[in-house]
Structure 1
């Protein structure tokens, strides 16, 4: 089983007990504001998401980690790697992303988890390059992206919702663990 420990977090595969807290996170309009069309997700959609994330682990050897707080055992959300099939112009690529419950914002958890995931991607999984895709105006994600050392690659539009997106990148030669 793939696990990563950081000073405050455990990044791990998904388990049945994660459905309820992840459903709560996905039901928060503040959390979902910058994701796709901003719609919240119900328990069935969240269960399908988790199932798909676990399948990606099995198929690709990477995926989205459940992010658990070491101090309390609470599920804070996810961070991890996925193939951004929704944006064909970025392919072939592996993207890093994150989604945390709003009660966990502003405490450095997203940066801590994303840094560990980026190290996992480039050093453990042998990827040469990782991208990040975010909506223009999502300043919190832009801050995490900057902390990861990722640089701008291009601006494009979401192929379904047509809002502007930033694509950032980092490769193995630029990465500093």
Structure 2
């Protein structure tokens, strides 16, 4: 079982008791504002999402981790790697993404978890390049992206939701792990 510990976080595979706290995160309009069309998600949709993330682990050898606070054991959200099938022009790439509950914002958790995930991508999975896709205007995510050392590569539009997207990239051979 793959687990990554940072000074404050445990990145791990999903447990059954993660469903309700992740569904609570997905039900928060502030969290979901920048994801897809901005709609909140219910427990059923969250269960399907976690199932897809776990299937990606089995099929690709990577996926989205559950992010747990070491101090309290609380589920803060998710971070990880995935294949961005929804965006044809980058579907051959591997993307890093994160989603944390609003009580966990502004404390550096997203940057800490994402940095550890990039180390995992380089050292454990041998990836040479990782992208991140953000909605235009999502300043908080773009701040994390900059902290990771990622640089803009292209602008595009979501093929389903017709919202502007920014694709950033990092060459992991230059990543400061």
Do the two structures share a fold, i.e. TM-score over 0.5?
A: yes
2:24 aligns to what?
A: 24
Does the residue aligned with 2:174 lie in a helix, a strand or coil? coil
CA distance in 2 between partners of 1:106 and 1:92 (Å):
32
1:84 aligns to what?
A: 84
CA distance in 1 between partners of 2:68 and 2:173 (Å):
30
What does the per-residue CA deviation read over 1:132-169, in whole Å, with 9 as the maximum and x for residues that have no partner? 00000000000000000001100011111111100000
Q: Structure 1 residue runs of 4+, over 6 Å off?
A: none
1:126 aligns with 2:131: no
Matching of residues 8-157 of structure 1 within 5 Å: 8-157=8-157
Instruction: Give the CA RMSD over aligned residues.
Output: 0.5
Task: Could you tell me which runs of 5 or more consecutive residues in structure 2 were left unpaired when the two chains were aligned.
Answer: none
Q: CA deviation at 1:174?
A: 2.1
1:171 aligns to what?
A: 171
CA distance in 2 between partners of 1:10 and 1:125 (Å):
19
Task: Could you tell me which runs of 5 or more consecutive residues in structure 1 were left unpaired when the two chains were aligned.
Answer: none
Q: CA deviation at 1:172?
A: 2.2
What does the per-residue CA deviation read over 1:36-94, in whole Å, with 9 as the maximum and x for residues that have no partner? 11100000000000011000000000000000000000000000000000001012100
Q: How many residues align?
A: 177
Does the residue aligned with 2:162 lie in a helix, a strand or coil? coil
Does the residue aligned with 1:92 lie in a helix, a strand or coil? coil
